[in-house]
Amino acid sequence: MGNLKEKFAEKAMPLAVEIRNFVKENANVALGEFTVEDVYAGQKGIIGLLTETSLLDSNEGIRFRGYSIPELRQLLPKVPGGTEPLPEGLFYLMLIGELPTYDDVLEIQANWAARSEVPAHVYAALDAMPITTHPMTQLTMAIMALQTESVFAKAYREGINKKDYWSYTYEDVCTLLARLPLVAAYIYRRTYKNGEHIPADAKLDWAANFAHMLGIDQNEFYKLMRLYLTIHADHEGGNVSAHTTHLVGSALSDPYLSLAAAMNGLAGPLHGLANQEVIRWIFEMIEEIGHDPSEEDIASYIQKTLTEGKVVPGYGHAVLRQTDPRFTAQQEFAKTYMPDDKLVNIVWKIYKVAPQILENTGKIKNPWPNVDAHSGALLLHYGLVEADFYTVMFGVSRALGVLASLIWDRALGLPIERPKSVTYDWMKKAVAAKKANA
């Protein structure tokens, strides 16, 4: 058993017992009420999920095991002389609940490197897809093809004790995380670089190796990838990709099946695909109003987008009510490394004018930028111009958080998820009964 796995077992097993007792003792304590509107508005604000890895505050943004993004940028281990956190360290933090040492991170790197060989049939399955297939569809296909390797599925079929579910889940998760950057880079190179693939470099960390396999071997881009793959990893449990992983996993579908389902959710334009949409939207704006748009030009373009009944991508959030700290972290990176980049400056100009216009609509609850408003401009700066690929990069990062949570789900023995649904007729009767009793 690897060191991380042992540490996880030491943490998780006693906690599972503690939580079971806590639930028994407090089973009838009410946590809140919800309204008709909450049900019709996508269950927002209704507490119905447990996620140990991170917690979102609507004003402050995400905290991973209590640490904010600026704190993580300081406190997570970095490569010697490095400036950005290593995402492997965040995986450790999400699993164990404590900051790792650099040696802990090196152990994860070595473990994942040893598991990283992708079976040939996965590449063959990708090669069978038309080159025009959207990269997110290819990613889901690749994860499904990798599922032949699931040790959880195999062990379940052979018959295992419930107590051991987490252990097989852990093995699948580590293998999947080890292989994901390879399949993502393969998708990129087959789709955009004539299938000229670049082998992994085992000397590099997880993020730098991904950058290397994409074909961008620049130290600054390595730094960006470490930051990018850290900040996109987790956003508590209710977002579409995290919730989907949890929901599908609750049927004891293995980590491959659960993550593939999640990636289909991430591929939606209101979720992860927004990073692609932001760049498309900005390019359409530039085409219409020129390369150096004034704030007034941008304001009119935003207004036009709203009048046409479309969303302004990269703005708004189901939970956040302030500028997303993941946006701010990327803005800080850009201020350090590319303050004069034209596209980045357009992103900043949009940030100056968009919130007021969105606020003025009177209906958009969060007029501030989210994580996706900035990421594409950073990638473009380093020559990664293919916007359709951006959500795959988000997916590689998101896998860290949702799969860490899936291991916790199995360790805590969380049951199959099955919320109650009702009809409009039921709702009308329930409301009438409430009013009659008021």
Choice between 77 and 367, CB closer to ligand HAX: 367
**311 forms part of the interface with ligand HAX (CB under 6 A):** yes
Q: Is residue 323 near ligand HAX by the rule CB under 6 A? A: no
Kindly list the distances between the CA atom of residue 47 and the CA atoms of 236, 238, 239, 246, 410, in Å, as whole numbers in the listed order: 12, 9, 13, 15, 20
Please tell me whether residue 422 adopts helix, strand or coil conformation.
coil
- Binding characters for ligand HAX, 224-253, by CB under 6 A (x = yes): ---------------x--------------
Is 87 in contact with 95 (CB distance < 8 Å)?
no
Q: Which of 317, 326, 381, 410 touches ligand HAX (CB under 6 A)?
A: 317
| Residue where the block lists tokens 């334009």 | 269
Please select the residue that binds ligand HAX; options are 84, 88, 205, 372, rule is CB under 6 A. Answer: 372
Indicate whether 263 belongs to the interface with ligand HAX (CB under 6 A): no
- Phi first, then psi: give them for residue 64, nearest 5 degrees: -95, 115
The answer to whether residue 370 forms part of the interface with ligand HAX (CB under 6 A) is yes
Q: Count Cβ atoms below 10 Å from residue 361 Cβ, excluding itself.
A: 10
Query: Is position 317 annotated as part of the catalytic site?
Result: yes
Per-position DSSP letters for 109-156, written without gaps between them: HHHHHHT-PPPHHHHHHHHTS-TTS-HHHHHHHHHHHHGGG-HHHHHH
Question: Which window, 60-68, 282-290, 367-375, 414-422, contacts ligand HAX (CB under 6 A)?
Answer: 367-375
Examine residue 321 and tell whether it contacts ligand HAX (CB under 6 A).
no
Stretch that binds ligand HAX, among 104-112, 289-297, 315-323, 405-413 (CB under 6 A): 315-323
Is the Cβ–Cβ distance between 250 and 415 less than 8 Å? yes
Q: Partners of 61 in the beta sheet? A: 57
- H-assigned helices in 361-423: 372-381, 390-412
Name the active-site residue from 235, 243, 317, 374: 317
Number of H helices, E strands in the chain: 20, 3
| Residue nearest to ligand HAX as judged by C-beta position | 316
Catalytic status, residue 232: no
Minimum CB separation of residue 383 from ligand HAX in Å reads 23
Residues in the chain: 438
Closest CB to ligand HAX among residues 35, 148: 35
408 touches 97 (CB < 8 A): no
Identity of the residue, 58 or 83, whose beta carbon is nearer to ligand HAX in the bound complex:
58
Q: Does 363 bind ligand HAX (CB under 6 A)?
A: yes
Q: Pick from 44, 92, 102, 31: which is nearest to 67 by CA?
A: 92
Residues at the interface with ligand HAX (CB under 6 A): 239, 270-272, 274, 306, 311-318, 363-366, 370-372
**Catalytic center residues:** 271, 317, 372
